[in-house]
């Protein structure tokens, strides 16, 4: 019976499966493999070269060349046509190989009479393992079907080689099996701390184990279903409010959609299934080919699209195997460092946090939601680590420096030793902070400074005791909404706020009402796209336009605070009328609950954040009707300098210790002091010891910061004489300098202020 061209690939796959299952030694299995390939492809030569060491290829099996050349013929990467295939990691198809300038004649092989040449790389997870070659005496070009067939075979051989059945995997590369050496990436430090551990991919790559199809029709149906699920997911995500505005997340999904609807990609996968591969193997085969094509273009845009294509193919594989999208449900090593393109705040909270030492992202900025959560749970975080997912492999040793933004992948021994010493030093420093945890926050000359923490989730609450803080100066109520799949009901909100009071005990807590909008978009609430969301429909503007939403939250707070003191703070107030309108809603809800016989808080204090500069010039009108003021230094800083704090190009351009910024804060402190209105500051500025020293010199006696900053700031403050810093700060306010940081550092050195 004559075998048709259409059925030949599937026949070859079945024959290869039989060869792989034979109970023979590895060399015999290789010999039988090249014989089957040669017979099926009507080739007079089939040869298999495997990579040995860092840059060598050794002939491991052949059908048609001199058998004595096996294990004796060795080529370097780039040497001869075989070496060229390995160097380019691309197929080479020639009708007259000897005429090619890279042709290298090796007399021991006996390949003199063979003209046509087809060589394909053997690659697995981006790692070169060898080269597979077929040759014929006739001068002819191998057709597309033959190239496709040989590439499918190379993929199967890659899995067999990687399994160690044919050769010890550690012999394939000269550095103990790792194709890549050590690498250093530069990112943006988003949450401080040093993490040393091993890579776990947040979205794990799927390892394809079943390569050959039992039934091509069944596999084609599985592939089509997987593609349908994938495109449905992309379209659904793009239609949600969270992705309505422009940004990194939407750009990634747009790239997904571009590839997912590409007919060429889909048809090539279907053709690979028709040739005998499983649906998963077809996705992986075509992925490697298309990725190589995109990277070969040499353009930065297409290199980035290759990264998007990696993500998309991996997501399609997860649809096919029915695997969870993330590694959160898996058993993790105790020194896990998560690596991902991006991550949402709820996704980080899904993990068993005692095993998470650090987080590294290709995207993400200092105001991203996951950065807020990472700081809250004490996980060092680095964002904008470009090229991360191309560089790392699961299980790689990795160091993430959340203080400098540096990432070391497969670090050399001297780097490991240096960071181990850093970690030990940090541990000793933490011990010093722990020793003063319960000591009063009093300066050398007797000034009491309230050191408070910023919080927003259940996981933050233990930090109140662990840090020795005096209370919670900013409880971000919106975080509960951001990590929830739906709008939290009244009892859910009341329960959270009640747990905060329970943990805080007699210590004060300031609850900030919902600061939604801007970059904090909830998928279950409709939100229009804005050109400039940071200064758009957000926070109190959003809340006053939806008063029922704000009243609902105020009601939960009033009920949770029954019999206790309640402090409510409104965000993003730009003029006095907004504060009056918001305070009126508090009064209305309080009256309603009293009428219903609800037990009320013992005391209700209502304050505002000062983060919009315009409010500072209305303080004389605001102070008589407000119970307290809290400066929000993060937003205030970006509005003062018209500087987007999420823009990496501006990260180091402006300094909070700039005379105009300090004069603004001094003006605010003076007005609040005149009206005897309590003043505090919450934000990144409060958590940096040198900046906190400046704030104390300006008259601030209440500052709120991330929990990890309480120890360093208290250490500084207990070594400070307020009477010495106040006149220095006053003199610095009039300087025309970009920053007075160096002046303050000199003061600290001269006066033995501890940092």
User: Which CATH number does the domain housing residue 244 bear?
Assistant: 1.10.274.10
Question: Which of 426, 458, 475 marks a domain boundary?
Answer: 426
What's residue 177's pLDDT?
37
pLDDT in tens, 644-668: 766 667 767 889 999 999 999 999 9
Over the stretch 573-621, which tens digit does the pLDDT of each residue have?
999 999 999 999 999 999 999 999 999 999 999 999 999 999 999 999 9
User: Any catalytic annotation for residue 447?
Assistant: no
Give the dihedral of Cα atoms 481, 482, 484, 488; nearest 10 deg: 10
Same structural domain for residues 398 and 516?
A: no
| Mean pLDDT computed over 478-486 | 75
Q: Flag whether 253 is in a domain.
A: yes
The token duo for 326 is: 């993330």
In-domain check, residue 420: yes
More confident call, 648 vs 289? 289
Give the per-residue SS3 of 197-225: EEEEECCCCCCCCCCECCCHHHHHHHHHH
CATH code, 658:
3.20.20.60
Give percent of the chain above pLDDT 70: 87
- Residue with the larger pLDDT of the pair 71 and 163: 71
Q: Is residue 589 domain-shared with residue 655, that is, in the same domain?
A: yes
Q: What is the model's pLDDT at position 275?
A: 79
Give catalytic status of residue 202 as yes or no.
no
Task: Give the pTM.
Answer: 0.64
209 domain-assigned:
no
Q: What CATH number did the domain enclosing 28 receive?
A: 3.30.450.40
Find the domain containing 166 and state its range: 8-171
What's the pLDDT band for 748 if we cut at 50, 70, 90?
very high
CA distance 272 to 476: 52
Q: What pLDDT is stored for residue 373 in this prediction?
A: 78
Both tokens assigned to 421 = 């010493």
Could you give the CA distance from residue 268 to residue 749 in angstroms, rounded to a whole number?
67
Judge whether residue 674 has pLDDT over 70. yes
Name the average pLDDT for the chain.
Answer: 86
Q: Note whether 341 and 288 are same-domain residues.
A: no
Among 576, 501, 516, smallest CA distance to 546 is for 516
pLDDT band at 481 (very low <50, low <70, confident <90, very high): confident
Distance CA 366, CA 372 (A): 8
pLDDT at 21: 74
28 domain-assigned: yes
Are 235 and 334 within one domain?
no
729 domain residue, yes or no: yes
CATH number at residue 375: 3.50.30.10
Residue 433 forms part of a structural domain: no
Are 389 and 317 contained in the same domain? Answer: no
Cβ proximity of 234 and 253 under 8 Å: yes
Decide if 80 contacts 87 (C-beta within 8 A).
no
Rounded distance between C-alpha atoms, residue 519 and residue 245, angstroms: 9
Q: What is the pLDDT of residues 322-368, one digit of tens each?
A: 766 688 878 899 999 999 987 877 678 788 888 999 999 987 766 56
Q: Is 627 helix (H, G, I), strand (E, B) or coil?
A: coil
Contact, 703 vs 682, CB < 8 A? yes
Do 547 and 618 share a domain, yes or no? yes
Contact criterion met (CB below 8 Å) for 423 and 430? no
Residue 654 shares a structural domain with residue 544:
yes
Say which residue, 245 or 62, is predicted with more confidence: 62
**Token pair recorded at residue 295:** 């990277």
Q: What is the pLDDT of residue 179?
A: 44
In terms of C-beta distances under 8 Å and separation of at least 24 residues, what long-range contacts does 354-361 make, across chains too? 356/332, 357/195, 357/196, 357/197, 358/193, 358/195, 358/197, 358/382, 358/400, 358/402, 359/191, 359/400, 360/187, 360/385, 360/388, 360/398, 360/400, 360/407, 361/187, 361/385, 361/388
pLDDT band at 299 (very low <50, low <70, confident <90, very high): low
Q: What pLDDT sits at residue 2?
A: 41
Residue 56 lies in a domain: yes
Residue among 46, 339, 672, 682 flagged as catalytic: 682
Say whether both 164 and 197 belong to one domain: no
For residues 720 and 675, membership in a common domain is answered with: yes
Residue 405 pLDDT exceeds 50: yes
Determine the distance from the C-alpha atom of residue 611 to the mean position of all C-alpha atoms in its chain, rounded to a whole number. Answer: 29
Asked if residue 142 and residue 60 are part of one domain, the reply reads yes
Last residue of a domain, which of 147, 171, 195? 171
> Is the model's pLDDT at 317 over the cut of 90?
no
Domain identity same for 287 and 350: no
The model's pLDDT over 66-117, given as tens digits with 9 standing for 90+, comes to 999 999 999 999 999 999 999 888 899 999 999 999 998 888 888 888 999 9
- With respect to residue 78, please indicate whether it lies within any of the assigned structural domains: yes
Torsions phi, psi for 454 (to 5 deg): -90, 140
Domain count, the chain: 4
Catalytic position from the list 369, 463, 527, 672: 369
Question: What pLDDT shows up at residue 166?
Answer: 59
d(CA 297, CA 326): 31
Same domain, 160 and 103: yes
């Amino acid at each position: 019976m004559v075998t048709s061209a259409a059925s030949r690939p599937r026949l070859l796959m079945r024959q290869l499966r039989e060869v792989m299952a034979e109970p023979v030694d590895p060399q015999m299995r290789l010999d039988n493999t090249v014989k089957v390939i040669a017979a099926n492809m009507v080739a007079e030569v089939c040869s298999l070269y495997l990579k040995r060491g860092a840059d060598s290829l050794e002939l491991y099996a052949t059908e048609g060349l001199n058998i004595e050349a096996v294990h004796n013929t060795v080529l370097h990467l780039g040497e001869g046509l075989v070496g060229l295939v390995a160097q380019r990691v691309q197929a080479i198809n020639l009708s007259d190989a000897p005429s090619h300038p890279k042709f290298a004649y090796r007399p021991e092989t006996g390949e003199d009479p063979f003209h046509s040449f087809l060589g394909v790389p053997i690659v697995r997870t981006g790692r070169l393992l060898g080269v597979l070659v077929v040759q014929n005496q006739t001068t002819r070009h191998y057709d597309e079907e033959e190239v496709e067939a040989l590439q499918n075979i190379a993929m199967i051989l890659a899995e067999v080689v990687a399994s160690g059945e044919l050769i010890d995997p550690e012999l394939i590369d000269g550095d103990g099996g790792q194709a890549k050496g050590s690498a250093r990436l530069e990112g943006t430090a988003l949450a401080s701390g040093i993490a040393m551990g091993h890579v776990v991919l947040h979205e794990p790559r799927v390892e394809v184990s079943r390569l050959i199809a039992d039934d091509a029709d069944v596999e084609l149906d599985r592939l089509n279903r997987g593609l349908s699920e994938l495109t449905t997911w992309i379209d659904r995500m793009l239609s949600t409010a969270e992705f309505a505005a422009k940004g990194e997340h939407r750009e990634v999904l747009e790239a997904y959609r571009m590839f997912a609807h590409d007919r060429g990609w889909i048809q090539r996968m279907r053709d690979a299934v028709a040739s005998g591969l499983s649906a998963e193997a077809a996705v992986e085969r075509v992925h490697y080919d298309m990725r190589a094509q995109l990277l070969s273009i040499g353009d930065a845009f297409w290199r980035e699209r290759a990264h998007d294509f990696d993500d998309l193919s991996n997501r399609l594989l997860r649809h096919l195997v029915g695997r969870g999208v993330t590694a959160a449900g898996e058993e993790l090593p105790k020194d896990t460092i998560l690596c991902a393109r991006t991550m949402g705040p709820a996704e980080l909270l899904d993990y068993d946090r005692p095993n998470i030492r650090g987080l590294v992202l290709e995207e993400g900025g200092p105001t991203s939601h996951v950065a807020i959560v990472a700081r809250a749970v004490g996980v060092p975080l680095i964002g904008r680590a470009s090229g991360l997912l191309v560089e790392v492999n699961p299980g790689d040793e990795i160091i993430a420096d959340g203080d400098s933004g540096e990432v070391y992948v497969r670090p050399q021994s001297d780097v490991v030793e240096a960071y181990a010493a850093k970690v030990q030093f940090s541990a000793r420093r933490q011990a010093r902070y722990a020793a003063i945890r319960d000591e009063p926050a009093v300066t050398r000359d007797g000034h009491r400074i309230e050191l408070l923490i910023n919080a927003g989730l259940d996981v933050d609450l233990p930090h109140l005791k662990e840090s020795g803080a005096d209370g919670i100066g900013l409880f971000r109520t919106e975080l509960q909404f951001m990590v929830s799949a739906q709008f939290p009901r009244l009892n859910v909100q009341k329960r959270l706020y009640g747990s905060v009071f329970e943990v805080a005990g007699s210590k004060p807590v300031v609850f900030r009402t919902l600061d939604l909008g801007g970059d904090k978009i909830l998928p279950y609430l409709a939100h229009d796209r804005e050109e400039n969301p940071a200064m758009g429909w957000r926070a109190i503007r959003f809340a006053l336009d939806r008063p029922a939403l704000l009243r609902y939250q105020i009601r939960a707070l009033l009920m949770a605070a029954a019999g206790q003191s309640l402090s409510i703070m409104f965000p993003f107030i730009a003029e006095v009328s907004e504060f009056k309108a918001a305070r009126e809603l508090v009064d209305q809800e309080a009256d309603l609950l009293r009428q219903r016989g609800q037990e009320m808080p013992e005391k209700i204090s209502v304050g505002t954040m000062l983060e919009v500069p315009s409010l500072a010039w209305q303080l004389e009108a605001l102070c008589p009707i407000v119970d307290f003021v809290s400066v929000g230094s993060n937003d205030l800083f970006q509005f003062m300098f018209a500087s987007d704090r999420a823009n990496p190009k501006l990260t180091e351009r402006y300094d909070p210790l700039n005379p105009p910024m300090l004069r603004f804060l001094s003006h605010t402190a003076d007005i609040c002091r005149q009206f005897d209105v309590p003043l505090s500051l919450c934000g990144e500025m409060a958590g940096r010891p040198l900046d906190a020293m400046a704030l104390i010199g300006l008259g601030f006696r209440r500052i709120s910061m991330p929990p990890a900053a309480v120890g360093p700031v208290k250490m500084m403050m207990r070594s400070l004489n307020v009477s010495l810093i106040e006149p220095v700060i006053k003199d610095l306010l009039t300087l025309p300098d970009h920053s007075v940081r160096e002046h303050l550092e000199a003061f600290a050195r001269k006066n033995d202020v501890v940092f």
